[in-house]
Amino acid sequence: MTPQDIKTNYVADLYGEVLLAEQEAAAAKARKLVLRDYVPGLVMVGIAAAAATWFSEHYGMPVILAGLLLGLALNFVSANPKVHAGLDIASTSGLRWGIVLLGTQVTAMQIGALGPLAFAGLVAVMAVTLGAGLLGARLGGQGRYAGWLGGGATAICGASAALAIYALIGRKRLDHEYFTLTLVGVALASAIAMSTYPLIARALDFSDQQAGFLMGAAVHDVAQALGGGYSFSQEAGETATIVKLSRVALLAPIVALIGFAIGSADGKPKSLAAKLKLPWFILGFFALVIANSAVAMPSQLQEYGLIASKALLLFAVTATAMRSRLEALLDHGWQALLPVILATLTAFAGATLVAWAFL
| pLDDT per residue as tens, the chain (359 positions) | 444 444 444 334 433 433 443 444 444 454 576 778 888 888 998 998 899 889 888 887 777 778 878 887 887 887 888 888 888 888 777 777 877 787 777 676 766 766 788 888 888 999 999 889 889 888 877 878 888 888 888 888 777 788 778 877 877 787 777 777 787 788 778 778 877 888 898 998 898 888 889 988 888 877 678 777 877 887 887 788 788 878 877 877 788 788 777 765 444 545 545 555 566 777 787 788 788 777 777 778 878 887 888 888 788 878 877 876 665 556 666 677 788 889 899 999 999 999 888 77
- Given a contact cutoff of 8 angstroms between Cβ atoms, the answer to whether 215 and 225 are in contact is yes
DSSP 265: T
Exposed (0-12), middle (13-18) or buried (19+): which is 356, by Cβ within 10 Å? middle
Residue 235 is which amino acid? E
Select from 87, 141, 54, 56 the least CA-distant residue to 324: 87
- Given a contact cutoff of 8 angstroms between Cβ atoms, the answer to whether 90 and 339 are in contact is no
Neighbouring CB atoms inside 10 A of 341's CB total: 20
DSSP 268: -
Return left, alpha or beta for 333; rule: phi > 0 is left, psi -120 to 50 is alpha, else beta.
left
The terminus-to-terminus CA distance of the chain in angstroms comes to: 85
Q: Quick check: helix, strand or coil at residue 5? A: helix
Exposed (0-12), middle (13-18) or buried (19+): which is 35, by Cβ within 10 Å? exposed
Select from 314, 293, 348 the least CA-distant residue to 160: 314
Residue 217 CA to residue 207 CA, distance in Å, equals: 15
Residue 325 CA to residue 235 CA, distance in Å, equals: 44
- At 128 the pLDDT is 92
Residue 266's contacts (CB-CB under 8 Å, 6 or more residues apart) are none
- At 258 the pLDDT is 80
Residue 195's contacts (CB-CB under 8 Å, 6 or more residues apart) are 228
